[in-house]
Amino acid sequence: MNTIGSELRLTLFGTSHGPCVGAVLDGAPPGMIVDVASIQHEVDLRKPRAGIGTPRAEEDVVEVISGIVDGKSTGGPITLLVMNRDTDSRKYDRFKSVPRPGHADLTARSKYSDCVDLRGGGQFSGRMTVGLVAAGAIAKMLLEERGIRVAAFVRQVGKVRDREERDVTSGVLSRSNELRAATDEMAEAMRQEIISAREDGDSVGGVVECIADGLPIGIGEPFFDTVEGELAKMLFAVPGVKGIEFGAGFASAGMRGSQHNDPFVLVDGKVRTAKNDAGGILGGITNGMPVVLRVAIKPTASIARGQRSLDVKSGRQTDLKIEGRHDPCIAPRAVPVVEAAAALVLADLSMRGGTVD
């Protein structure tokens, strides 16, 4: 399925080495001020960075095809298109018979037959997230109009972990460094971790933390469409995401109730909690505290050093050397993607709950 959302519906289209990628966002309220330059800025943040990213150079100019006229949403579907320009498909033919370990080549070919388009990873490429980021920029505008901010940063790269407590401003500040770390010191340590992996012909994983603040109490549609459930569904669609946790997350399992329970307090006449191990969600509903989530991103599957694979046509074990242009660490580029994904879900749930008309 390439469509997600209930009131605010996102459809992604295109493929990595086809003519274009993009998104259709349906359900955005009419009359919304839409700053197209901000959409472009978000998409620019997703581009690979010199030294730590793939050398694939894409201009990624966002074209608005429909749904925005004179800087305002019309109420019709918003279609956002980005042309693919820097494609080199020659190196991908082999992966249909010798699949890359850790990538979707084997599963995609098994499911969709030999007709599947695996050039540049096809529909399984990180490039599909261009449309997600562009549409997410609009969801962010919708939320910001209501005082809700969504921002993410890199919490961990390989063994380098940022151990400070952070809030939404860390995500905003991380825009000043290409690692998308909360501080320049963390960025430098993470950069060294990525360079070291790349020098070994290898890749490294990471954790992206996303915080949404300003959310009112009451967003979320239990039983099944909980805030955690909807965010998890969207975020697991992001290629390379292998885990998600909210608040104290997996550490909750090692805690006692007396430690984990967040005491209720009154702040400026509003019910809040003294700490936030719940990650802003109780019973699948926002509790007025910031929603805090972390996604684990696996090390990039396509690595330069030789790997063991199988020629699935002949059944012979074979060595695979991957050429092509790949990110040694996906986490920094995943930051705007995670922000966009979270914003789309929170905007959709806000509309469903009546917070947004």
**Would you tell me which residues interact with ligand FMN (CB under 6 A)?**
54, 103-104, 121, 124-126, 129, 238-240, 298, 300-302, 326-327, 330, 333-334, 337
Q: In the structure encoding, which two tokens stand for residue 183, read together?
A: 């501080």
Q: Are 167 and 161 in contact (CB under 8 A)?
A: no
Q: How far is CA 121 from CA 41, 99, 117, 311, 356, in A?
A: 25, 11, 8, 18, 37
Closest to ligand FMN by CB, 55 vs 147, is: 55
Beta bridge partners of 208: 154, 295
Closest to ligand FMN by CB, 54 vs 177, is: 54
Q: Are 222 and 230 in contact (CB under 8 A)?
A: no
**CB 104, min distance to ligand FMN, A:** 4
Closest to ligand FMN by CB, 54 vs 309, is: 54
Q: In the structure encoding, which two tokens stand for residue 152, read together?
A: 């993410």
Round to whole Å and give the CA distance between 199 and 201: 5
**CB 302, min distance to ligand FMN, A:** 3
Closest to ligand FMN by CB, 285 vs 330, is: 330
Closest to ligand FMN by CB, 97 vs 261, is: 97
* Helices 129-144 + 331-353 axis angle, to 10: 50
**CB 87, min distance to ligand FMN, A:** 13
Round to whole Å and give the CA distance between 85 and 83: 6
Length of the chain counted residue by residue: 357
Closest to ligand FMN by CB, 23 vs 28, is: 23
> What 3-state DSSP class applies to 337?
helix
Q: In the structure encoding, which two tokens stand for residue 181, read together?
A: 């770390």
